[in-house]
A and B are shown apart, each in its own frame.
Chain A
Amino acid sequence: MIEVENLTKRYPGVTAVDRLSFNVQKGEVCGLLGANGAGKSTTMRILAGYIPATEGHASVAGFDVFKDSLEVRRRIGYMPENVPLYTEMRINEYLEFRAALKGVPRKERRERIEWVKQQCGLAEVGKKIIGHLSKGYRQRVGLADTLVHDPELIILDEPTIGLDPNQIRQVRELIRDLGKHRTVLLSTHILPEVEMTCSRVIIINRGKIVASDSVERLKQLRRGGGETVLELKADAGAVRSELAAVADVQNVEIKPLSGGYVRAVVFPKANQDLREPVSETVRRMNWGLRELTRRTQTLEDIFLQLTTEDDE
């Protein structure tokens, strides 16, 4: 559905997007994850045909976003960051206007609009003036707009930013539902959002892709690690040999600390929780213990690790 090859966008002084290459298959819900200024919005604007890339190619549904911009725009529903709307219009008027502009035939418009309002929880409020709506409802109007012409691809730039937790949950559910029948590309800087809504994630940092994988794989990574960390008052050699003998232990790292303490990091073979067998050993050996914890690597850690590596 989306093919991006060596996409680069330079502004005077900054390279917003730097040789980006990725594909999104039909039916995927793909998340673009990145910190502020990573280049998410820039990428989406290029895909939506709003601005041209400096270099590289991008195509949507087989059409070049630059050369066949109109064809691409006919096939996408794009919600820009911050959901710009005409505040003086009523929801119904606005959706009617957008549907007409996107070429929904007059006969089908009424029905389409009713349907998207239903989908986005706007059925009861169609007569309200957009300027009087809360942020959450504006977001819904924005979503309804992206759906009104039944596009093949939906591009959402930070669809849940600025919403309260309840609204966030609703919007995520909506996106998940959409993903059942359509291709969705969304951007976010919130990890759990990707986990909850996407089937695939592309992590970008400073315009470059640093990781691109299925969310399942990333979740596995998240469970990875799982080493147990102890601080003991004991002889380093004894600690090493005793802990290495515990079942399922891969290896042990020892670091002497001041005051006769050592810090031991015990790595499991396959992600097992070693806290109990380890504390068993500690008790048996009568070592003085001042800390015992299990480190788990969160997706957050991975994200931070990936996006801060080259920051120095």
Chain B
Amino acid sequence: MSNVWIIFKRELMSFFFSPIAYIVLVGILLVNGISCVILIQFMNDQPTDVSVFTIFFNSFFSWLALIVMTPLITMKLFAEEKKVGTYESLMTTPLKNGEYVISKFLAGFVFYIILWAPTAVYFILVSMFSATPLDQAPVYGGFIGLLLIGLLAVSMGCLGSSMTTNQIVAAVITFALFGGLLLVGFLPYAIGGKLREAFQYFSMIYHMEELVQGILDWRRVIFYISGTLFFLFLTYKIVESRQWKA
């Protein structure tokens, strides 16, 4: 377990030395900032009962930030080390494959949280200048959603990154996985009946809609956790494949 902490620490530190990470940080701040400004403007023009945040978390902008930025931060996790060769010097120490995967994942996830944390500032600002007291539920719900989606997205990123030594390829794989799931998420809005409910189970957009209304359904939590475990398991298998006999 201490190995996890050792690798995690180094990995998290290394994000702060990578220019991409800063670009992503600025990118997310910009996209969310613009999103906030537009929403507030919009609400000023036509006041509604709906909270700003209800719209914010499920806006085009926040999904854009998720789908573009997450692959950019996870792409280096495994691919870079394999390319540079530090993977070889790591894997010839008493480090277990599982410890390696977990620490990489945790580092990616914590950095994901760091990326989204400044967004909280917007909420503080909005609530300070809002005329009426704000409903807190959408804010908590939205952030819980972001965390759950983050788990899944980062685990997809781990898989993408472990499959190649090329970071661009890693980002594209992650983008495709996450984008694919996001697209499936539109299906419940397009079809009805029994299938609709089935697709709701996979729809990140639908989940977010629930969450920002303050509904926390345990089936959703299970969906994200099991999805995360699934992708981490595949990543583990890829890391382990190094030791498979041909």
Contacts and interface: CB of A to CB of B under 8 A. Distances in A.
Same assembly = yes
B245 A54 contact: yes
B93 A101 contact: yes
A139 to B, nearest CB: 13
Closest 4 CB pairs of A and B: A84-B85, A88-B17, A48-B92, A84-B86
B7 interface: yes
A85 B88 contact: no
Contacts of B192: none
B153 to A, nearest CB: 25
B196 interface: no
Contact of B88 (A11, A84, A89, A102): A84
A45 B94 contact: no
A73 B89 contact: no
A88 B19 CA distance: 12
A107 B204 CA distance: 48
B47 to A, nearest CB: 50
A52 B243 contact: yes
B84 interface: yes
Interface string B200-213: 00000000000000
A199 interface: no
Interface in B81-113: 84-96
Interface string B13-32: 11001000000000000000
Interface of A: 10-11, 45, 48-54, 66, 69-70, 73-74, 76, 78-80, 82, 84-86, 88-89, 97-98, 100-103, 145
A50 B88 contact: yes
B93 A51 contact: no
21 contacts: A48-B92, A50-B92, A51-B243, A52-B245, A53-B245, A69-B243, A70-B94, A79-B89, A80-B85, A80-B88, A84-B86, A84-B87, A86-B10, A88-B17, A89-B10, A100-B6, A101-B3, A101-B90, A101-B93, A102-B93, A102-B94
A97 B10 contact: yes
B242 interface: yes
Contacts of B95: 101
B165 to A, nearest CB: 13
B7 A101 contact: yes
A10 B246 contact: yes
Contacts of B94: 70, 73-74, 101-103
B236 to A, nearest CB: 16
B237 to A, nearest CB: 15
Given A73-B94, A88-B17, A102-B94, A78 B89 contact: yes
B10 to A, nearest CB: 6
A49 B92 contact: yes
Nearest to A84: B85
